[in-house]
Chain A
Amino acid sequence: MVRSSLAMNKKIVIAAASVVTEADLASARLGQRFGRLDLQSRLALLAVAALKIDFATLPADRIGICLAASAGSLTTDFNFWNGRGGVGGPSPTQFAYTLPSAAVGEIAIHFGLTGPNLCFVGDDKNLLPEAADWIRSDKVGGCLCVFCEVVSSEIAKIISAPAAPTACALFIRSAEAVQGLLELREFDRDMKALCALISQTKSAG
């Protein structure tokens, strides 16, 4: 009872936000193996790196990862399928990324995070409420929220959608006081809008 009332009073703040596009990948330097990742994993990893959070100073098992992939792993699935007719068969590396949750694993490995994780296939509407719930229930002290919209030009033609691969990330955490940070509100759902708002505020400041 005491714990739940404490949890109810806990504030959740947005400690950092980022938005990255495919164009940002060209200058990204995230280790020797960054190039082998599929587009979604590279964008997700870069979006988290762009948050500039020193994860080494935080308890690894108290940081969660919640990721939503709007098109699942469709782009990589498509590339893998297209490789089936070649000599030697399709790429084994691509096969490893034919799971939408692969990006979660890459983030966890790269930053050494061992907390709980979750992957949604679809929009970002459940990401922030789920992550906030983890914090309120004290499963984690902070959570990385990543939303990937990765539709390659080939897939875009098939599904009549714009091809503009992007990823945005937020790091939310519990706090005793807001201290100049943006507080996550109960009704905040739109990751893209929040990331854009925070990025605008930062550049204006």
Chain B
Amino acid sequence: MQISTHDLKAKIIESLKLQDITPEQIDDDAPLFGTGLGLDSIDALELVVLLEKDYGIVIKDIEEGRPAFRSVKTLAEFIAAKRPQ
């Protein structure tokens, strides 16, 4: 099932308590970490919690999650593929 990137961005903003930024201002392909949205390692952990809370996806291996956390687009694709039916 497809995941709306707009909804995912809204969840990221809410979960990470980002201020002065709207979903529209986040590029689907922009890197989440470092440049782009500028998230850090604590945010990565918070995103792992978000995936479990909101989508029922448990990341047990960091290597599994690493490619998913490249951008909003890759994260949405990961959720769509892993989300329990």
Contact = CB atoms under 8 A, between A and B. Distances in A.
Interface string B8-47: 0000000011111100000000000000001000110110
Contacts, number: 40
B53 A87 contact: yes
Contacts of A33: 18-19
B48 interface: yes
Q: Determine chain B's interface SS by DSSP, over half rule.
A: helix
Contacts of A29: 19-20
A92 to B, nearest CB: 4
Interface in B44-75: 45-46, 48-50, 52-53
A89 B17 CA distance: 18
A88 B17 contact: no
A141 to B, nearest CB: 31
Q: Range of interface residues on chain A?
A: 10 to 19
A35 B48 contact: no
Contacts of B46: 91-93
A36 interface: yes
Contacts of B42: 92-93, 96
Interface string A56-81: 00000000000000000000000000
A36 B16 contact: yes
Contacts of B53: 86-88
B18 A88 contact: no
A34 interface: yes
B11 to A, nearest CB: 13
Interface in A84-102: 86-89, 91-93, 96
A92 B20 contact: no
A111 to B, nearest CB: 18
A32 B49 contact: no
Nearest to B47: A92
A180 interface: no
B29 to A, nearest CB: 19
B72 to A, nearest CB: 16
Interface of B: 16-21, 38, 42-43, 45-46, 48-50, 52-53
Given A88-B50, A91-B46, A92-B45, 9 more contacts: A29-B19, A29-B20, A32-B18, A33-B18, A34-B19, A35-B17, A88-B52, A88-B53, A93-B43
8 contacts: A29-B20, A35-B19, A36-B16, A86-B53, A88-B50, A91-B49, A93-B16, A96-B42
